[in-house]
Amino acid sequence: MLKAEGISKIYPSGESMVTALEPFSHTFSPGQVTAIVGPSGSGKSTLLNLLAGFDKPTAGQVIHQTPQQTTNLTQLLEGDKARYRLENFGFVFQNYNLMSILSAQENVEFPLTLLGIPVKERLERSRAMLASVGLERRTGHFPSQLSGGEQQRVAICRALVTNANLILADEPTGNLDSKTGAGILELLLGPAREGRTVILITHDAEVAARADVRLYLRDGRLERVEQREGATV
């Protein structure tokens, strides 16, 4: 599980300070999809970036606990953090962040290369991953040759291919029409059902409605937590 313990973020802004996130505490459980919901500027991306360790909290800490070990992400050194993230996190960025000079298959393969996985296995895993989202005939295409929905599926494949147990996504359905968006959500629900921890930012009420837990942010504050019936927090 991923535990946020009183994490906050204050940005200096000229002479004054902007509180992007007030002290936030929550435990994200394995096997659940948690949606972070809130208006623009409410601190959603700030929270996700803190959870991922892309950004350092002004106060508080993020703890990752598995049956094998407990790791305080906030105390890891930068180099160790990058490695830890590679092995434990999968990210889906709002604007896909695919590498334009790499094919779909090469983009998905990339984290496996960083992990030092042998080339044959990398190829097999990245191809199988793309096939699982219906992109088996797009493996050689470059991002510019793919639709927004296809690019987002490639980005999700890249996040899932390492079998990371924490999947974080910033508006994965943001720029997509609702039908494509629903399909994208399905791709993230599957890994959660397998026991991974999925955290996604969304402003799409339909997407949020299908999450197990919903966290509502407003003005950098956690306003309320909602739980789908039957879901355990």
Ligand X SMILES: Nc1ncnc2c1ncn2[C@@H]1O[C@H](COP(=O)(O)OP(=O)(O)O)[C@@H](O)[C@H]1O
Determine the interface stretch with ligand X among 26-34, 37-45, 158-166, 183-191 (rule: CB under 6 A): 37-45
Residues 6+ apart with CB under 8 A from 82: none
Question: Segment near ligand X (CB under 6 A), from 26-34, 41-49, 91-99, 103-111?
Answer: 41-49
Distance between CA atoms of 133 and 136, rounded to whole angstroms? Answer: 8
| Binding string, residues 25-44; x marks residues near Mg ion by CB under 5 A | -------------------x
Q: Which is nearer to Mg ion, 141 or 203 (CB)?
A: 203
Spatial neighbors of 87 by CB under 8 A, at least 6 apart, are: 115, 162, 164
Residue 18 in contact with ligand X, rule: CB under 6 A:
yes
41 is an interface residue for ligand X by CB under 6 A: yes
Of ligand X, Mg ion, none, which one sits near residue 70, judging by CB under 5 to 8 A according to partner kind?
A: none
Output 7 or 157, the one with its CB closest to ligand X. 7
Instruction: Give the torsion through C-alpha atoms of 33, 39, 43, 46, to 10 deg.
Output: 60
Q: Which is nearer to Mg ion, 53 or 111 (CB)?
A: 53
Cβ-based burial of 65 (10 A; exposed 0-12, middle 13-18, buried ≥19): middle
CA 34 from centroid of its chain's CA atoms: 10
Amino acid present at 78: E
Binding of residue 6 to ligand X (CB under 6 A): no
30 binds, among ligand X, Mg ion, none (CB under 5 to 8 A by kind): none
Q: Decide if residue 45 touches Mg ion (CB under 5 A).
A: yes
**Quick check: 88 binds Mg ion (CB under 5 A)?**
no
> Is residue 202 part of the contact set for Mg ion (CB under 5 A)?
no
Is residue 193 within 8 A of residue 31, CB to CB? The reply is: yes
What does 193 bind: Mg ion, ligand X, none (CB cut-off 5 to 8 Å by kind)? none
SS3 145: helix
User: Would you list the DSSP string of 92-144?
Assistant: E-TT----TTS-HHHHHHHHHHHTT--HHHHHHHHHHHHHHTT-TT-TT--GG
Q: Which is nearer to ligand X, 46 or 103 (CB)?
A: 46
Q: How far is CA 202 from CA 11, 62, 102, 143, 226, in A?
A: 23, 22, 28, 23, 15
Binding site partner of 16, from Mg ion, ligand X, none, Cβ cut-off 5-8 A by kind:
none
Q: Closest separation between CB of residue 168 and Mg ion, Å?
A: 12
Residue 62's DSSP bridge partners are: 4
Q: Is 42 in the site for ligand X (CB under 6 A)?
A: yes
Q: Note the residues at the interface with ligand X (CB under 6 A).
A: 11, 13, 18, 20, 38, 40-46
Q: Note the residues at the interface with Mg ion (CB under 5 A).
A: 44-45
